[in-house]
Amino acid sequence: MDVPACPVCSMEDVLGHEDRFECATCGHEWPREAPAEVAPEDVARVVKDANGNVLADGDSVTLIKDLKLRGSSEVLKQGTKVKNIRLVDGDHEIDCKIDGSAMALKACFVKKC
């Protein structure tokens, strides 16, 4: 049987299960019987912290390790609390302000408070 490309990310790295397909790249799943006509806007994006807790806009998070700031000698220290985060698309899923400076963080380096 011909395995279709993922309807969300268009990658062809698709796993076939008995009753569904699963994209190995983005994790999207869809049933075998139904046509794979799902627009990326229709799929709800789930962002999880380092412990697997689901994050939402407005949450407070804490850094779990020291992070060097690219282009400077400054370091964001472990335990720094960040309030009122905003989730965005892209490699760095979290937009926030730390000490008045705008930052973009990866969710794997934070835990929910």
Q: Where in the chain is the domain with CATH 2.30.30.40?
A: 61-112
Structural domain 61-112, CATH architecture: Roll (2.30)
**Per-residue confidence (pLDDT) for residue 6, from 0 to 100:** 87
Q: How far apart are CA 39 and CA 9, in angstroms?
A: 10
- Both tokens of 50, joined, read 């380092």
For a pLDDT cut of 70, what percent of the chain falls above it?
Answer: 89
pLDDT average, residue stretch 95-111 = 94
User: Comparing 35 with 47, which gets the higher pLDDT?
Assistant: 47
pLDDT average, residue stretch 62-67 = 96
Class of domain 1-43 (CATH, top level): mainly beta
Q: How far apart are CA 92 and CA 77, in angstroms?
A: 18
- Both tokens of 65, joined, read 């390790």
pLDDT digits (tens, 9 = 90+) for 67-96: 999 888 999 999 999 999 999 998 899 999
**Mean per-residue pLDDT of the chain:** 87
**Per-residue confidence (pLDDT) for residue 108, from 0 to 100:** 95
Q: Where in the chain is the domain with CATH 2.20.25?
A: 1-43
